[in-house]
Amino acid sequence: MEMTPVFRKMLFAIDDDDALTAAAPLVAAYAKRFGSEVRVLHVQHIEPPGHDAASHRLVTGVAERLRADGIEADGEIRLVHGGDSVADVIARSAVSAGADLVVVGSHGRADLVAAFLGSVSSRVAAGLDVPVLVVRVHAGRGGPRRVLVAVDGSRDSDRAVTEAGDVAAAFDAEVLVLNVRQVVTAEGAAVVGSEPEAQAVVAHAVAALFARGVAATGETAVQHQVAAAIIEAADRFGADLVVLGSRRPSSLGGLLLGSVGHAVISRMRRPVLLASRVRERTPHGESAGDVPEVLPEGECLRLLRTQRVGRVALADRGQPLIFPVNYAADERAIVFRTAPGQKLHVARMSSAAFEVDHVDEQSGVAWSVVVKGVAYEITDAIDELSDELRRLVVEPMAPGERTRWIAIRRHETSGRRFRLPAAAVAAGH
């Protein structure tokens, strides 16, 4: 087991809804028990010049309530800019504040649209390495007395046991260790993991908790759906906190493909602690966080829509040409406007590549996306796709009339995301 981390700094992301009422007492309980400083954060979409009075009252009121309980607390209001999401802003704020724990509220929205647009807690968890405590509207008002931790023998699950032990030791709570043997059906046959192996995983976790003076018991379950087994066990045990290992995907697209954490958060009424992420080491000794992350297509398309300026690469008589352009994008194509000239002449029915990138100096993360396809003029085209692409907003910054529309129909899309070296972040590039 690793040395017990202390939640010295907590980021409490609030909204003006019922989730705040549930989360505030829990934040106070954790802050008192761990001696934490608390940064209260509210993210809003209102543009400058100023924040509205209601947001200021909200943040000030929560911070004052925490200070009245003897907790060191301050407040911050941040705005959503450009293509950022609320979750992006929360994650960046947590990094800049040096938070050891992030607390967010959740309404448990489970349908696909709500998961994509409104499940901020899942998006925040995907973007951070530190633990994320997700508090539901129906959560209790104090620290946990019974903690369930799900284990599978992985390094992520070992970290979950460590952090479950941290919380249990702080609140003198008892722990139930659960291993779920998932039933997988293939070609009419059901396959399930080994019971002795499951028992060994549970016994290892229980022993680690005992070694820290934490009362713990263990059990195994057999179920087709891991999340359903966790929820059933938590209900039966009367758990008021569930701790999960953190195999966090890098984007919401990964969450929608079946993350146990996302499913549990969506369906469970009690708080869920997503343990800190374990960074694997490469054969050369680097952290996996230092190796470029290959982005799934859905994340590439989302990032394409967050920027306005990219670069188009074309070939003219065997010679490469690169042009910066203002552009817009949808899931099918890139579109930009130009004037008569070399660019228009070359771009008619030719192979093309398009690249866009971004460096977030505050978080120290950079990404790039490349699209390959065929460029063609759609200025006077009457097909449905061309008509829809011309409705996208493209505002060239360069002077002069640019009335000709060029589309690059997407054939291949790739992307990378990586963390900048510390020296580059400190230098501002």
- Pair 239, 309 in one domain: no
- Pair 269, 298 in one domain: no
- Pair 136, 221 in one domain: yes
> Is 95 part of a structural domain of the chain?
yes
- Pair 181, 305 in one domain: no
DSSP per position, 372-394: EEEEEE-SS--SHHHHHHHTS--
Q: Tell me the CATH number at 322.
A: 2.30.110.10
- Pair 91, 214 in one domain: yes
Q: Which residues in the chain land under pLDDT 70? A: 1-6, 16-22, 46-51, 81-84, 106-128, 137-141, 184-190, 246-262, 278-291, 318, 342-349, 362-363, 421-429
> Is 3 part of a structural domain of the chain?
no
Which residue in the block uniquely carries the two structure tokens 């705005």? 79
Is the separation of the CB atoms in 140 and 180 below 8 Å? no
> Is 422 part of a structural domain of the chain?
yes
> Is 285 part of a structural domain of the chain?
no
> Is 84 part of a structural domain of the chain?
yes
| Domain stop point among 274, 301, 334 | 274
What's the pLDDT tens digit per position in 128-137?
A: 678 888 887 6
> Is 288 part of a structural domain of the chain?
no
Domain, as residue range, for 91: 9-274
Model-wide pTM > 0.75? no
Is the separation of the CB atoms in 14 and 23 below 8 Å? yes
- Pair 230, 338 in one domain: no
> Is 366 part of a structural domain of the chain?
yes
What's the pLDDT tens digit per position in 96-123?
A: 788 889 888 765 444 333 333 335 555 5
The tokens describing 402, both together, are: 């640019």
- Alpha-carbon distance 352 to 29, whole Å? 57
Which pLDDT score, from 0 to 100, does residue 404 have? Answer: 87
Which pLDDT score, from 0 to 100, does residue 282 have? Answer: 46
- Pair 85, 222 in one domain: yes
Which pLDDT score, from 0 to 100, does residue 207 have? Answer: 95
Q: Tell me the CATH number at 259.
A: 3.40.50.12370
- Pair 262, 324 in one domain: no
> Is 130 part of a structural domain of the chain?
yes
What's the pLDDT tens digit per position in 18-50?
A: 556 667 888 999 999 999 999 999 887 765 445
- Pair 239, 203 in one domain: yes
- Alpha-carbon distance 141 to 89, whole Å? 27
- Pair 261, 380 in one domain: no
- Pair 60, 125 in one domain: yes
- Pair 41, 145 in one domain: yes
Q: What is the CA 396 to chain-centroid distance, rounded? A: 32
